[in-house]
Structure 1
Amino acid sequence: MPVYLYYGEDTYSLNQKIDQLVNQNVYPDWKAFNYVRLSGNEKNIAANVFTEVMTLPFGEGSKIVHVDSEYLIGSLSNEDNLDLDNQLSQIPSNSILLITGNNKPDSRRAVVKTILKYAQQEEFPLVPSWDKKGIINLIGKYAAAHQVKLTPDVTHYLVEAIGNNTARAKSEFALLAIYADGKTLELEEVSQLVSNNNTDYSELTIAMLRNHPNLAIMQISKLLDNNEHPLKIVATLTSIFRIWLITKAGLEAKLAENKIAEIAELKNPKRLHYLKDEVKYVAVQKLKNSLTTLVQLETELKTGTHSLTSRIIEICTV
């Protein structure tokens, strides 16, 4: 099939699939000519896409014309649908139109229906970070693929340590497979090989939220010992406190849950159930003050003032 539509938030798996498609169809010696990536900065993007895909490949193998769905589909109107149908039906057998994006195109649109008529589509969804069962399945899938035998406590540790990060899951299990060499891995061994920064972040934010400075200092030390950059720590904390503030303020304003999820930019609104529990006993003012302090901390770090620990303590005491 000469048209492929790939979409989803698991960008690592999506990019792996793109590489696979290119390697299977484009000869390495001719890749510079036969793999064409078009960006949204180009004028008349749709016209350029079909000019390229109708042009025969150089040398051996097939040609792939790769474009982002937002740029191609966004540039098309319903009036273009008839021309689109004709163009898609005439793509040469040795040319491939590859359309990719983070989101599934709106299938209610006529042009999208036409593309779907010709396209082989595949979705690459990212398991939500709160979906423990989904992450357990993800860890199990990578363990099976690399033939790594895990005990239940090791599986639990890896679920917390790796989370829904598919790129990290692949690299960590490649390492674990070499180390295990067919043996069942024990928790002590795995914890030495795979660092667990996710749990450290979780415990840090809860310590800050519940005003436990000693625990917060301990978690900051762990993150720094694991080579987490202070600016990355602050960026992560800022994102979490922003979502907490929006959630708490939205609940107090009696906004609809779908509206709170929209404002907080939650990719999965079901996460709101967990957020409501986390901020249940926290005042809006504490969240506001904490977010203000984190913004000040970011500025201080960027100007050479090493105030990470003192600012974290400050947030724990407001």
Structure 2
Amino acid sequence: MVVDLWGKIKNHRLSPLYLLYGTESFLLTETYELLIRTVLPEEEREFNVSVYDCEETPVQMALEDAETFPFLGEKRVIVVKNPYFFTAEKEKEITHDLKKLESYITSPSPFSIVVFVGAYEKLDERKKITKLMKEHAEVFVAAPLAEKELREWMMERTRQSGAMMEENAVDALLQLAGTNLMTLANELDKLALFVGPGGTIRQETVEKLVSRTLEQNVFVLVEKVTKRQIDEALQVFYDLLENNEEPLKILALLASQFRLLYQVKWLSEKGYGQQQIASILKVHPFRIKLAMGQAALFSEEELTAAIRQIAEADYEMKSGAMDRQLIMELLLMKWSEKTN
């Protein structure tokens, strides 16, 4: 888990080799930047940090750098990006000396930390070089965080800023900002700055300072529809128009949300749990949790009808048959009653 790895790094329990891969590029970047900050004082980073890209530079050049003594310091950090030779990707024009890499992996430089970083979903475990690397390196897979891990990460980032965060504030932030780590990091940093060192981020602080993303506003719009609160649903829509959001874009996100609700409902009825559904649909588990709550308020027929009505509204908007805002208003008013 990312918080555990970061704890080891901060406590200087370091490895000479790291292999960081996965689809959460934000976590990959945060991890190797933490390594650099922990290992090297700021004044040494200009001289003792090197970054290589294996799609442009042979890996042996990075290894030669790793075997060079640090300049005016005790350590070097070598970041090696896109090490595609650990995956099933085809060889590229660059010639990498993997024999030299094998030799380095088994006997790494004592004064360098080499970090291999790749935004790959999986590695080729059949390859000798991959097996050797996983055997000798500290390996971190930057997969989307489960809800528990996401909450721990949010708490840890807040602590790093010298503040604390209440549980209901975490809930509120996830509801308002979604689960994108870059967005959450920016909001957490802003909230921590607002409350100051030693301060506590509370639910009311989040609600005061954090604006909903477009996707979260669409989620609220659907929430109002599920409760047949047409006046409030229309107000959310008008607020989006005030923010210069196009009706066609709002409709597209509504279509995506209702498709998700239909898929979640169907899979739930087949006996799949939250984590399984998240894996099948490749959607964050927290979003699946919220969708399960919304889907329970619709029948399968209502969801099918809503998706059909959205398709009809989409055609009307694109054909110019009627004013786009009016089309959305009529659709929402139609949903104020049963959607079948």
Q: TM-score range by the shorter chain?
A: 0.5 to 0.7
Determine which of 270, 277, 285 is the counterpart of 2:304.
285
Spell out, residue by residue over 1:220-246, the C-alpha distance to the aligned partner (whole angstroms, 9 max, x if none): 233455676767644543432332344
* Pairing of 1:41-190 with structure 2 (within 5 A): 49-56=58-65, 60=71, 62=76, 64=78, 66-68=80-82, 72-75=86-89, 85-86=102-103, 88-89=105-106, 94=112, 96-105=114-123, 107=125, 110-128=128-146, 131=147, 135-150=150-165, 153-181=168-196, 182-184=198-200, 187-190=203-206
Determine which of 4, 26, 30 is the counterpart of 1:16.
30
**Alpha-carbon spacing, 1:219–1:70, altered in 2? closer, same or farther (3 Å):** farther
One-letter code of the match for 1:52? M
CA shift for structure 1 position 116: 0.5
Counterparts of 1:194 and 1:312, CA distance in 2: 27
Gaps of 5+ in 1: 43-47
Counterparts of 2:175 and 2:63, CA distance in 1: 48
Counterparts of 2:89 and 2:104, CA distance in 1: 15
Counterparts of 2:150 and 2:286, CA distance in 1: 18
One-letter code of the match for 2:221? L
Counterparts of 1:20 and 1:298, CA distance in 2: 49
Aligned residue number for residue 4 of structure 1: 18
**Alpha-carbon spacing, 1:249–1:94, altered in 2? closer, same or farther (3 Å):** closer
Aligned residue number for residue 242 of structure 1: 259
CA shift for structure 1 position 63: 6.5
Counterparts of 1:244 and 1:51, CA distance in 2: 50
Counterpart check, 1:264 vs 2:281: yes
One-letter code of the match for 1:100? G
Determine which of 187, 197, 209 is the counterpart of 1:193.
209
CA shift for structure 1 position 263: 6.1
Spell out, residue by residue over 1:253-275, the C-alpha distance to the aligned partner (whole angstroms, 9 max, x if none): x6988997676344659948953
Counterparts of 1:74 and 1:101, CA distance in 2: 13
CA shift for structure 1 position 15: 1.3
CA shift for structure 1 position 214: 3.0
Spell out, residue by residue over 1:87-128, the C-alpha distance to the aligned partner (whole angstroms, 9 max, x if none): 633665647351322535365765432220222222444334
**Alpha-carbon spacing, 1:75–1:195, altered in 2? closer, same or farther (3 Å):** closer
**Alpha-carbon spacing, 1:189–1:308, altered in 2? closer, same or farther (3 Å):** same
What TM-score does the superposition give when structure 2 sets the normalisation length? 0.64
Determine which of 202, 223, 230 is the counterpart of 1:206.
223
**Alpha-carbon spacing, 1:228–1:141, altered in 2? closer, same or farther (3 Å):** farther
Residue aligned with 2:81, SS: strand
Counterpart check, 1:307 vs 2:324: yes
Residue aligned with 1:74, SS: coil
One-letter code of the match for 2:311? T
**Alpha-carbon spacing, 1:20–1:260, altered in 2? closer, same or farther (3 Å):** closer
What TM-score does the superposition give when structure 1 sets the normalisation length? 0.67
RMSD: 4.7
- Indicate if the aligned counterparts of 2:161 and 2:189 stay in contact, CA closer than 8 A: yes
Counterparts of 1:96 and 1:240, CA distance in 2: 43
Spell out, residue by residue over 1:115-155, the C-alpha distance to the aligned partner (whole angstroms, 9 max, x if none): 20222222444334xx3x55544443333333335556544
- Indicate if the aligned counterparts of 1:149 and 1:183 stay in contact, CA closer than 8 A: yes
- How many residue pairs get aligned? The number is 300
- Indicate if the aligned counterparts of 1:135 and 1:163 stay in contact, CA closer than 8 A: no
